[in-house]
Each structure stands twice: as structure tokens, then as C-alpha cells.
Amino acid sequence: MRRWQIELTWRFNKSELAFQSPRLWRRPEREKLLALATLAYAFLLHRLSPPYEPLRRWLLRHFCHRTGWHLRHVRAPLYRLRSALSRLWQRYPPCFAALGRPRRTPASVTIT
């Protein structure tokens, strides 16, 4: 029974992170893809920590709404959090290009 649970966990994680059938033949490309997936998974797990409770509740309430008393009081699984973030970013796409631009600092004027 234990092995079957592990297999189901791997299957769920592969489908959740879109790893059903990656077509990468060289080791460096596979390592890069695995590193990106690990980073995404760590991001989601970090958002499940207690300091992010208000943010998580807001995301789930506005972008992955569920009805019923039971569904409002259970812990948020990763797939609901990922789905809510995906819907948020589809509605309000992040501008990653702005991250690479140098920041403008306000000019300081000295009056003598």
C-alpha cells in the first residue's frame, strides 16, 4: 500500500507541474527543467506557510472560489493555489521585462 501512495504522489506532482512527458535528451536541459519545477514547487509550498494565510485566503476566494462549509474550512491543496495564481496572472499578466530595467532614482536637487 505504501508504494502505491508514493506512485500516486509522483503521478499527481508530474501532472500538476506539467511533467507528463518531457522531451529533453541531454542532461543539462533536464537539470534546468527540474530546477525550474523545483523552484515553482518551492514557491507554492512557501505560500502555504502561516505568514501568507491572508494572501492565500484572498487568492482562493477571488480566483479559485469553492462553495460549501467544508470546502471553505479545509486546508488549501497545492492544485487550488496553483490554479488561483494562474488565473490571477492570466487576468493581470506580470511584467517581467520591468524587472530587468534599471530603476530610476529621483534626482536630488541641492539649493545653495
13-29 pLDDT, tens digit per residue, is 677 666 666 777 888 88
> Helix or strand or coil: residue 67?
coil
List Cα–Cα distances, 103 to 57, 94, 98, 99, 109, in angstroms: 32, 17, 9, 9, 18
- Rounded to two decimals, the pTM is 0.56
| pLDDT value at residue 105 | 67
pLDDT over threshold 80, residue 94 = no
